[in-house]
Amino acid sequence: MGFDRICRVFRISQNGFVNHVKIDIYGENLIKLEFIEPIGMGFHPGCYVYLHFLSLPFYVVWQSHPFSLVRSTASSDRLVLYLKCKKGITRKLLKLQNKGFIKVLVDGPYGKFPVDTRNDDGFDKVVGIGGGLALSSVLAFFNHRAAKFQEKSANERYTC
C-alpha cells in the first residue's frame, strides 16, 4: 500500500501538482470540469484520471474519484470531464458553482481503450455503444477518430 501511494504522488507531481479547473454547472445533475492538459500527461482516448478535490472540506482530499477524460473540441490543449451528481463529493461540487475555478490534484491517466486506433484506416463505419456518462469514453474515441480523419483529408488535398 505504501508503494501505491508513492506512485500516485509521483503521477500527481508529473501533472503539475495543483491544477486549476474551470467548473460549469448544467442543470441539477451535470457538472463539466475543464483544465489545461499538463505537459507530461499523455492523454489517449478511453483513459481516465483520479481527482482529489482541494476546494472541498479538508478530509475530502484523501479520497480520489475516477472520471473519464475527453479532449475539448474547442481547444486541443484542454481536457474535459463530465460528472453526474449523485451523493457525496459530486453533490458538494454543486455548491461551488459560483467560484468559477476549483483546485484539484490529477492522478493519471490510467486505462487503455480496447481498440487499436493506430491502424483503423480500413473502416468506413464505426459503431460505439455507451450509456449515461460512460458515453464520454466512446466520445473521446470518436473525437480522436474525427481529428485523424480531418488531418488525413487535409494532407491528401495538399499532396495531389
State pLDDT tens for residues 86-104. Answer: 888 788 888 776 678 888 8
Q: What number of residues does the chain have?
A: 160
Spans of the chain below 70 pLDDT: 1, 57, 59, 61, 97-98, 113-124, 130-137, 152-160
Q: Please report the pLDDT score of residue 2 as a whole number.
A: 80
Q: Please report the pLDDT score of residue 136 as a whole number.
A: 66
Q: Please report the pLDDT score of residue 63 as a whole number.
A: 77
Q: Please report the pLDDT score of residue 35 as a whole number.
A: 93
Q: Please report the pLDDT score of residue 30 as a whole number.
A: 85
Which set of grid coordinates corresponds to residue 91? 453533490
Question: For the sheet containing 65-68, what is the strand order?
Answer: 65-68, 48-53, 101-110, 18-26, 30-36, 78-84, 70-71
CA 76 to chain centre: 13
pTM of the complete model: 0.73
Is domain 2-159 annotated with CATH 3.50.50.60? no
Q: Please report the pLDDT score of residue 71 as a whole number.
A: 84
Q: Please report the pLDDT score of residue 90 as a whole number.
A: 80
